[in-house]
Structure 1
Amino acid sequence: MANRTCFEDFDWNGFWDDYDGYTGSEKVTDERIADTERLLGYKLPRSYIELIRTRNGGSPVNSCFPTDEPNSWADDHVSITSICGIGGQWGIDSDDLGSRRMIDEWGYPDIGIVFGQCPSAGHDAIMFDYSECGPQGEPSVIHVDVEVGEGEEPVRTPLAENFESFIRGLVHEHVYDTSEADKLADLETARHALFTPLLRNLCDAADTLLPEAETVLRRLAERVIEEKGFFSLHADPLSHLMYDLEFLLYVHAKGSVSIEVYLADYEKILVFGEAGTFKTGGYAPGFVADWLNERIGSGNIAEAVAGDGFVFDDGYKREVLRQAGTYHD
């Protein structure tokens, strides 16, 4: 029994999806594992190491884990898009998208390692939880949802007592396929739901700048839903256009604004609101902050000539209005 592997009776054939966008190119050696453990400050579970030796991260074919507690995406399960390996852009040790950044910048609890990406692309994730066992122990697996109100703690949902149990408990998404119904519900919300109070005020103040602001936002949201199957903003061109329009309306109504104030107010525009409100299905602050930094770096958003804060460059403002025009004809 001493030499027993965690998955000795497990059939890896068909476990991994053919898509390799989340797969690291580095070889998983003992030395590389030790480096990752030193960097993150935790001993990696033996079962996790066995898994990434079969493939250094990737998307599992069976991508759902049953739960007894509802979360922001479903009442009876959580979904996972990838199990992160080590090294590369998606590794748990990555500077850009790894566990430490998720904890330090995106609000995940500092209790272990973020190793599983979810469809929300940042709003929720799967973690190793070392809070009970300590950094050298065998962690449990939990789901963490950071789509919470201001000042509230992320919601933690226990999933499995260890990583081996988590892997063995994964089931295919067909068991929970509600995608078409979810898409239709999101389209209905985008077309008819009330705006959050701040977004309503920004549209009302748009006057001659963008008199069809409400129609533009609703039709752009419909386009996002048609492409993704749900309403959520990430780092794609349609999401960036939505961020542009929101900033355009905000500055038009309130004048130049500091980065800190805008990021704080952004949550009230298209994130938090009452049930049934026109809003996104989640919120990862990093996406909005990265968009804003990119726009400032490119000069599309610049410091105001008079007064403090930032506004759109006139040329880029015209470009945003041009793109907006394609959504109200």
Structure 2
Amino acid sequence: MSLQFYEGQAFWKSPSEYQPGTMLTDEKISEVERHLHVRLPRGYIELMKQQNGGELAFRYVLFEDGDAAIIPYLYEVEIDHGIGLSSVFIDECRLPDKLVLLTGDLHSWLALDYREKSNPSVVYITESETESGKWDEHPLADSFDQFTTKLFCK
């Protein structure tokens, strides 16, 4: 089996079953950043300006131990839904603070991690299989741009 890694072209799957958000403007980005108290990574913003959320063409990522996760879509950049609801899900699921949730399903999450720095790393968080109410963290990349280079399709 040959893996094809993302190299800067065709990030979004087309057609997509996930309905993207409305066209992203600089004003909307500033509003969401103020709401989340973060500065979103430039590479992330550039992709979201192409299409504000949706299914990924390169939807798999490898962990250091060789396991893989599916990242089917990214949430849209909005305040009242999408990444703007990060704090709601963080509270509800008892996730660590200072995360911006890029996608998830209540059992696993892809997030920008702002806990130790203003330039976030990317982490994949899953429910612990050994301890109820706890989360296991899988560091994926030191930056969003590095994360995208680790995405692949089969």
Scaled by the length of structure 1, what TM-score is found? 0.42
Question: 1:114 aligned to 2:106?
Answer: no
SS of the residue aligned with 1:21? coil
SS in 2 for 1:122: coil
CA 1:111–1:146: 2 relative to 1, 3 Å: farther
> What secondary structure is seen at the aligned counterpart in 2 of 1:39?
helix
Which amino acid is the alignment partner of residue 126 of structure 1? L
* CA–CA separation in structure 2 for the residues paired with 1:66 and 1:85: 24
Q: Distance in 1 between matches of 2:81 and 2:112?
A: 16
Could you say which residue in structure 2 is the equivalent of 1:85?
A: 76
- Determine helix, strand or coil for the equivalent of 1:171: strand
CA distance in 1, matches of 2:40, 2:134: 26
When Rg is computed on C-alpha atoms for both structures, the one with the higher figure is 1
Amino acid at match of 2:112: F
Consecutive unaligned residues of structure 2, counting only runs of 5 or more, are 1-6
Q: 2:74 corresponds to which letter in structure 1?
A: I
Equivalent residues of 2:122, 2:143 under 8 A apart: yes
Preserved CA contact (<8 Å) 1:115 1:128: yes
- Displacement of 1:88: 7.7
Gaps of 5+ in 1: 1-8, 70-74, 175-329
1:255-276, Cα deviation, whole Å (9 max, x unpaired): xxxxxxxxxxxxxxxxxxxxxx
**Equivalent of 1:99, from 86, 95, 103?**
86
Is 1:51 aligned to residue 47 of structure 2? yes
Q: Between Structure 1 and Structure 2, which shows a larger proportion of helix residues?
A: 1
Deviations along 1:126-171, one digit per CA (max 9) or x if unpaired, are 01011121xxx21000001134523x53111100111111112101
* Alignment correspondent of 1:127: 111
Q: How far is 1:66 from its partner?
A: 0.9
Percent same amino acid among aligned pairs? 29
Matched, 1:21 2:12: no
Q: Is the 8 A contact 1:141 1:159 kept in 2?
A: yes
Measured after TM superposition, the shift of residue 63 of structure 1 is 0.6
The aligned runs of 1:259-274 (5 Å cut-off) are none
Partner of 2:101: helix, strand, or coil?
strand
CA contact (8 A) 1:23 1:90 kept: no
**Structure 2 counterparts to residues 205-244 of structure 1, below 5 A:** none
Q: CA RMSD in A?
A: 2.0
Would you say the 8 A contact 1:114–1:126 is kept in 2? yes
Aligned residues: 146
User: 3-state SS of the aligned residue for 1:33?
Assistant: helix
**1:172-195 per-position Cα deviation (integer Å, ceiling 9, x unaligned):** 1x3xxxxxxxxxxxxxxxxxxxxx
Aligned 8 A contact 1:123 1:145 in 2 = yes
How does 1:136-155 map onto structure 2 within 5 Å?
137-148=118-129, 149-150=131-132, 153-155=134-136
